[in-house]
Amino acid sequence: MKARKQYLWISAMMSYGFLLYFTASVIYRIDIAQLEAYQLIFLGTALEVSVFVFEIPTGILADLKSRKISVFVGLFIVSLGLFLETSTTLFWVIFLSQSLWGFGYTFISGALSAWVSDETNNKDIEKTFVKAAKYRKVAVIFGIISAAIIGLLSIKIAMVFSGLIFVGLGLYVLVFVREDHFVPVDHQTSMVKSYIIQLVQGIKHIWSSKVLRVLWIVILLLGLYSEGIDRLNELFILDEIGLRSTFDGVSPIIITSSVAILIALLGFILLSFVEKHVHKAKYAYTWLIYFTMIMIGGLLIFTYLEQAYIAVSGFIVFQIVREAKSPLIELIQVRETPIAIKATVLSTMSQTDAIGQLISGPFMAYITFQYSMQSAFLVATLIIAVVLGFLVRLKWHSMQRT
């Protein structure tokens, strides 16, 4: 099916471009812009503010107007944000660039998943999402390797190249992607009224569904724990655990790239296993519980064990199961939501994650500044433990319907 193949390809290329950018930008911010730990966290806050403000509006527009055009616009805005960061090392400009590409990503989030769900009529949608996650892992490996190779010559060139990838991908979507099963809103009503109706329908659906209601809390908590980990793990690995001194003379981008490649390779293997065993959405609940338990153990090892290799191994385990959770959560949302409000509901859930991260950013920055990175990681672990309890309840709700 052409739509499915296009979705897999677009997902993979987006991951390639983002990982090329992320891998290079980490070193750019730490070694070139020389940002402090709390500044790194606030960059995440800038991103999440954009998602918080624009996620639901852009999701509703995707449902009302066109999911294809929404993805196209988003890809181009993302590229502008990536280009902007390379223009200077000033913190406020980098902060602005994060806000800009975060705004662009809200046009893609929800719309792309809703598009493939519609165009395939949800046929084998579980396998589609898991396979897309596998493709993204392969793309991640190539993105990291590209960043390491290009980054040895110039970190900025690697970041600019990632922006060009999103420009090319946007043109591909505009020219080659079809949208045959989408029915736009009836324009007999005003756009503002249609917007309000769509928003109310999406929120009502979430709160009328026991599964989605609990999943909303889970996603909020997942956002709440993540900012400290996402913004500080490279700094913690390089300087606190000491891999920079352990591999003295090795470029930091090679060190961080090597860790990221291991995560991608092992993540691909894990997703291959999940793909074989998750044939229906109901099995996703069990895997989410298992993965969350493993996340807690991995994060504790990463935070408190002094042996560098064991500590990094804990982070790798934590990260691969964390990333394996994403397609499972996504397929539950898609299965629980009717076509007319799909992008709206997906965007509402994504905004919930942004709310959690928005709260988490200043909170984790304060803990890190006043205490330590280890303290921030411990708080994150406690939040994940709460998530585990809600996932057990989520599985119970799903079993009540069978």
Structural domains of the chain in order of their starting residue, each with its CATH number: 2-176+193-400 (1.20.1250.20)
- Name the average pLDDT for the chain: 85
Whether the predicted pLDDT of 19 surpasses 60: yes
pLDDT digits (tens, 9 = 90+) for 119-137: 888 787 777 888 888 898 8
As a whole-number percent, the residues of the chain with pLDDT over 90 amount to 29
Distant-in-sequence, close-in-space partners of 269: CB < 8 Å, separation ≥ 6: none
Q: For residue range 278-326, list pLDDT tens digits in order.
A: 655 567 788 899 999 999 999 999 998 878 889 999 999 999 999 888 8
Segment 86-99 mean pLDDT: 90
Structure-model confidence comparison of residues 239 and 299, the more confident one: 299
Indicate if the pLDDT at residue 101 is higher than 80.
yes
Between CA 41 and CA 19 the distance in angstroms is 18
Tell me, yes or no, if the pTM score tops 0.85.
no
Predicted confidence (pLDDT) per residue in 350-374, tens digit: 778 878 888 888 888 888 888 888 8
Q: How far is CA 189 from the centre of its chain?
A: 35
Question: pLDDT digit string (tens) for 252-276?
Answer: 878 888 888 898 889 888 888 877 7
Q: Please report the pLDDT score of residue 368 as a whole number.
A: 86
> What is the reported pLDDT for 1?
59
Compute CA distances 309 → 138, 243, 244, 291, 313, whole Å. 24, 9, 13, 22, 6
Whether residue 173 contacts residue 71, with contact meaning beta carbons closer than 8 Å, is answered with yes
User: What is the pLDDT, as a whole number, of residue 351?
Assistant: 78
Most confident of 95-104, 202-211, 242-251, 337-346: 95-104
Q: What is the pLDDT of residue 246?
A: 78
Supply the pLDDT for residue 318. 96
> Mean pLDDT across the stretch 70-97?
92
Percent of the chain residues topping a pLDDT of 70:
94
Do 136 and 270 form a contact (C-beta atoms < 8 A)? Answer: no
- Per-residue confidence band for 168, with pLDDT thresholds at 50, 70 and 90: very high
- Give the number of C-alpha atoms closer than 13 A to the C-alpha of residue 389, restricted to the C-beta side: 6
The tokens 């970041």 sit on which residue? 159
Confidence label for 381 from pLDDT (cuts 50, 70 and 90): very high
Q: How far apart are CA 32 and CA 12, in angstroms?
A: 29
Q: Which residues of 33-61 are buried (b: 16+ CB within 10 A; e: fewer)?
A: bebebbbbbbbbbbbbbbbbbbbbbbbbb
Across 11-25, 239-253, 331-345, the highest mean pLDDT is recorded for 11-25
